[in-house]
């Protein structure tokens, strides 16, 4: 057992030798400590670095719903960990009864947040383990726990591949990448998706700086992306969301890289609300607009953006900030957590298998078909 962020970390979840778990010594997003899932409470960043100790699935669901953990890949890993806790806490030695009760737990986990497809993907992957599992309950519990550890390590390896492919898109010499929300290490098991492109580009010797949209209403750009990049030693400036037009009109951004919570099969992309506005400005000013996401974020059952459920959250997230009311008393709020960027505004989708280009109906279908025939048996099983 080793130490990370002042806590004991389960080294079984690490990738292979020579692969750092988090870049620049960044604080981990989530990890196993014995039989407890430790989740970094991102609501308290950057002022405090606090971990939530989760010993049952209900606590993990609470962390997902309240955004203590957020970002599609991180939510997927958290779901797998939460299901491992659920399996541990099901008090029966009868295999049929265990499976019946575990399926109910999976159904509850699926409902934690509606937009991030990685949540449902992770639930299905874990549930599918029981098809070929040994008949002993103890073996089922161990298999589910081990799968959550594998998924964490896989996520980091996938993110590193995304970073390596995306780094090739960053211009040589000095350049500036604009990003929206947080699609970094904090949004994943480690290393990030959009910010993985930055980390890999800098490791390749490119001089990259970042403009981080503040990302109202919960300020994930100002609080999380800026904090993470400062931790990693990457120059970053925070901009108000409404400044993206003037930033691009003055040539201050060379390209945009954002993450995704769900990608439809036609290339429409659901991401943090405000991403659509960034894409519109990028198209207007001729700035390449890239989406960085693992193949698991592409939903094979979603034909287009019209079929992506968009979460609506509490009005208080808009009318108040940090516990202090901003809006006039009596005023309501519109609080869509995500929006959908149409595929025709997306220059390319950076995945662990490479950069997918239009026409997305063809390139995404080919990528998902390749994912299903992956040589990795767990990836195959997870996409049944």
Among all chains, which residue has been given the structure tokens 């599609």?
72
For 13-22, the pLDDT digits (tens) are: 333 323 344 5
Rounded-to-integer distance, Cα 103 and Cα 89, Å:
14
Higher-pLDDT residue of 108, 72:
108
**What are the boundaries of each domain within the chain?**
2-160, 162-382
For 23-74, the pLDDT digits (tens) are: 556 789 999 999 999 999 999 999 999 999 999 999 999 999 999 999 889 9
Cβ 288 vs Cβ 350: under 8 Å: no
Helices (H), the chain: 57-65, 72-89, 95-110, 117-128, 137-167, 194-203, 220, 226-232, 244-249, 275-285, 316-319, 360-372, 377-382
- The end-to-end CA distance of the chain, in Å, is 34
Rounded-to-integer distance, Cα 158 and Cα 73, Å:
10
**pLDDT band of 6, cuts 50, 70, 90:** very low
Rounded-to-integer distance, Cα 307 and Cα 344, Å:
17
Q: What is the mean pLDDT of residues 187-201?
A: 95
Rounded-to-integer distance, Cα 364 and Cα 350, Å:
11
For residue 2, the model assigns a pLDDT of: 35
For residue 336, the model assigns a pLDDT of: 97
Which residues fall within 8 angstroms of residue 277, CB to CB, at 6 or more apart?
Answer: 241, 244, 339
H or E segment and range at residue 289 = strand 289-292
Residue 376 has pLDDT above 60, yes or no: no
Rounded-to-integer distance, Cα 183 and Cα 234, Å:
15
Reduced to 3 states (helix: H, G, I; strand: E, B; else coil), residue 270 is: strand
Cβ 80 vs Cβ 125: under 8 Å: yes
| Number of residues assigned to the chain | 384
| 162-382 has the same fold as 2-160 | no
For 322-346, the pLDDT digits (tens) are: 889 999 999 999 999 999 999 999 9
Residue 369 has pLDDT above 90, yes or no: yes
Query: Which of the 8 DSSP states describes residue 301?
Result: T
Residue 4 has pLDDT above 80, yes or no: no
Residue 5 has pLDDT above 90, yes or no: no
Rounded-to-integer distance, Cα 333 and Cα 318, Å:
6
CATH annotation of 2-160: 1.20.120.420
Residue 190 has pLDDT above 70, yes or no: yes
User: Percent of the chain scored above 90 by pLDDT?
Assistant: 84
Report the topology of domain 162-382: Rossmann fold (3.40.50)
For residue 382, the model assigns a pLDDT of: 34
Rounded-to-integer distance, Cα 74 and Cα 61, Å:
13
Rounded-to-integer distance, Cα 57 and Cα 243, Å:
41
For residue 116, the model assigns a pLDDT of: 73
For residue 378, the model assigns a pLDDT of: 41
Among all chains, which residue has been given the structure tokens 């997230």?
317
Q: Is the peptide bond before 217 cis (omega within 30 degrees of 0)?
A: yes
Cβ 220 vs Cβ 317: under 8 Å: no
Question: What's the mean per-residue pLDDT of the chain?
Answer: 90
For residue 379, the model assigns a pLDDT of: 36
Q: What is the mean pLDDT of residues 364-368?
A: 96
Residue 287 has pLDDT above 80, yes or no: yes
User: What are residue 338's DSSP bridge partners?
Assistant: 272
Rounded-to-integer distance, Cα 259 and Cα 254, Å:
17
Q: Which residues are catalytic?
A: 261
**pLDDT band of 84, cuts 50, 70, 90:** very high
């Amino acid at each position: 057992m080793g130490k990370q962020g002042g806590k004991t970390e389960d080294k079984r979840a690490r990738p292979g030798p020579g692969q750092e778990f988090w870049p620049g010594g960044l604080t981990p997003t989530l990890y196993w400590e014995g039989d407890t899932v430790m989740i970094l409470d991102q609501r308290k960043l950057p002022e405090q670095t606090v971990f939530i100790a989760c010993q049952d699935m209900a606590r993990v669901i609470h962390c997902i719903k309240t955004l203590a953990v957020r970002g599609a890949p991180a939510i997927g890993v958290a779901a797998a960990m939460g299901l491992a806790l659920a399996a541990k806490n099901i008090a029966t030695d009868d295999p049929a009864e265990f499976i019946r009760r575990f399926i109910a737990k999976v159904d509850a986990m699926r409902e934690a947040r509606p937009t991030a497809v990685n949540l449902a993907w992770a639930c299905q992957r874990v549930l599918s383990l029981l098809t070929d599992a040994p008949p002993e309950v103890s073996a089922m519990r161990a298999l589910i726990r081990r799968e959550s550890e594998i998924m964490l390590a896989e996520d980091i390896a996938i993110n590193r591949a995304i970073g390596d492919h995306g780094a090739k898109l960053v211009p040589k010499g000095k350049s500036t990448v604009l990003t929206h929300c947080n699609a970094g290490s904090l949004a994943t098991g480690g290393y990030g998706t959009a910010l993985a492109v930055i980390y890999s580009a800098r490791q390749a010797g490119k001089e990259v700086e970042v403009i981080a949209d503040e990302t109202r209403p919960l300020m994930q750009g100002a609080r999380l992306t800026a904090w993470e990049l400062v931790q990693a030693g990457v120059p970053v400036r925070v901009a108000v969301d409404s400044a993206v037009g003037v930033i691009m009109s003055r040539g201050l951004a060379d390209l945009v890289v954002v993450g995704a919570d769900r990608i439809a099969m036609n290339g429409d992309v659901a991401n943090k609300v405000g991403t659509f506005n960034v894409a519109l400005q990028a198209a207007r000013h001729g700035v390449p607009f890239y989406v960085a996401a693992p193949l698991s974020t592409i939903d094979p059952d979603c034909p287009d953006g019209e079929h992506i459920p968009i979460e609506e959250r509490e009005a208080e997230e808009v009318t108040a900030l940090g516990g202090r009311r901003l809006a006039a008393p009596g005023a309501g709020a519109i609080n869509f957590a995500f929006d959908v960027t149409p595929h025709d505004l997306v220059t390319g989708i950076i995945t662990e298998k490479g950069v997918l280009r239009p026409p997305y109906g063809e390139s995404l279908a080919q990528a998902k078909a390749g994912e299903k025939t992956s040589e990795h048996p767990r990836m195959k099983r997870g996409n049944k």
